[in-house]
């Protein structure tokens, strides 16, 4: 399975996060359509597209009301590749999150986070708004990291931990009571 150090053309041949999401949608009888733009290669022509086009959500789910879904495949964490985040986490690029804000104004954006270790969504989905709340609550602005390979153009990302996602889910349920 490709990892973040491989060229994007290799990584996009196998998008396990989207495969798991499609299995989940089918299992739950959720009607969906592909939406997001799919990279084919790293050409300068493709890189010249506006970031909001390059970072379109992956799917439209036909629930009431319809929503966008962006799939994120979490990592179990490997100190060999990222000593700063050797815990289960998902990488959320700062520039992608800004593009999702654009799409969220059109129709609500939710992130579906799946994990290689379990192949199950950790909780179904988390809204973009809730993700920004989680980033604030757990001070992720102080934990920004940079990709160390050229394939990601040294982009900055938040290493959102599985533990914090689960804690936030519990907190949100408690606050709804």
- For every residue of the chain, DSSP letters joined together read ---TTS-HHHHTT--HHHHHHHHHHHHTT--EEE-S-------HHHHTS-HHHHT--SEEE-SSS-EEEEEEEEB---TTT-GGG-SSEEEEEHHHHHHHHHHHHHS-EEEEEEETTT-SBSSS-EEHHHHHHHHHHTTGGGS-EE--SGGGTT-EEEEEEHHHHHHHHHHHHHHH-
Per-residue confidence at 150, pLDDT binned at 50, 70, 90?
Answer: low
CB 39 within 8 A of CB 7: no
CATH topology of domain 8-176: Trna Endonuclease; Chain: A, domain 1 (3.40.1350)
* Predicted local distance difference test score (pLDDT) of residue 177: 39
Residue showing tokens 């289960």 = 88
Residue-wise pLDDT tens digits, 73-127: 877 666 555 666 667 788 899 999 999 999 999 999 999 988 766 555 555 688 9
CA 110 remoteness from chain centre: 9
Residue-wise pLDDT tens digits, 23-58: 889 999 999 999 987 765 556 666 788 889 888 999
pTM comes to 0.81
Residue 11 has pLDDT above 60, yes or no: no
Residue 152 has pLDDT above 60, yes or no: no
* Predicted local distance difference test score (pLDDT) of residue 77: 66
* Predicted local distance difference test score (pLDDT) of residue 15: 72
Least confident of 59-63, 137-141, 146-150: 146-150
Q: Where are the domains of the chain?
A: 8-176
């Amino acid at each position: 399975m490709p990892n973040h150090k491989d060229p994007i053309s290799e990584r996009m041949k196998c998008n396990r996060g989207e495969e798991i999401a499609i299995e989940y949608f089918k299992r739950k009888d959720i009607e969906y359509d592909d939406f997001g733009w799919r990279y084919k290669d790293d050409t300068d022509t493709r890189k010249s597209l506006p970031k909001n086009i390059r970072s379109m959500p992956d799917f439209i789910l036909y629930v009431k009301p319809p929503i966008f879904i962006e799939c994120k495949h979490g990592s179990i964490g490997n100190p060999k590749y990222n000593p700063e985040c050797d815990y289960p986490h998902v990488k959320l690029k700062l520039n992608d999150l800004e593009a999702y804000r654009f799409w969220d104004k059109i129709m609500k954006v939710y992130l579906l986070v799946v994990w290689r270790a379990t192949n199950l969504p950790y909780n179904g989905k988390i809204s973009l708004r809730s993700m920004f709340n989680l980033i604030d609550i757990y001070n992720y602005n102080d934990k920004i990291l940079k990709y160390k390979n050229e394939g990601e153009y040294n982009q900055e990302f938040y290493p959102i931990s599985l533990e914090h996602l689960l804690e936030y889910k519990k907190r949100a349920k408690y606050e709804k009571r």
